[in-house]
Copies of this chain bind each other. A is one copy, B any other.
Amino acid sequence: MTEVEKTLDNKSVRPTAMRILIYKFMASKNTAVALTDIENAFDKAERTTLYRTLKTFEEKGIVHQIDDGTNISKFALCEPGCNCEIDQDLHLHFHCGQCDKTVCLTEHKIPQINLPQGYIAEDVNLVIKGICDSCNDH
């Protein structure tokens, strides 16, 4: 059993060939990926399978979904000990308007926000748009 298989197994996800490929693909990238990104990465990929795989991954806390303002859902692997299905990992995300890449800034936590009376917060999504360090010509 490889490391990836163990990871999936730990999260109660059957480590099928396709799932392992998807996991490895996401692990190889340092940016969040869209469903279409994965689809384009594998010639033999079936969109529905990828779609449902991502859903499963998300439900089991393997990936988290990111809404970066492009109206296209992005996904990124959760950090080793993030447990975002229980107590969500409130880091912020950055979307670069130049290279169109979205990254997790896991070190940068979202500060506590207070809401008006009667509002109950369940999740927080903070996205900053701008120029990333790769596109920034210093």
Contacts and interface: CB of A to CB of B under 8 A. Distances in A.
B116 A121 contact: no
Nearest to A121: B130
Nearest to A73: B71
Interface residues of A, number: 36
B122 A130 contact: yes
A60 interface: no
Interface in A39-78: 67, 69, 71-73
A88 B69 CA distance: 16
Interface in A102-131: 105, 107-108, 110-111, 113-131
Q: Max chain B CB contacts within 10 Å: which of A111, A121, A126?
A: A126
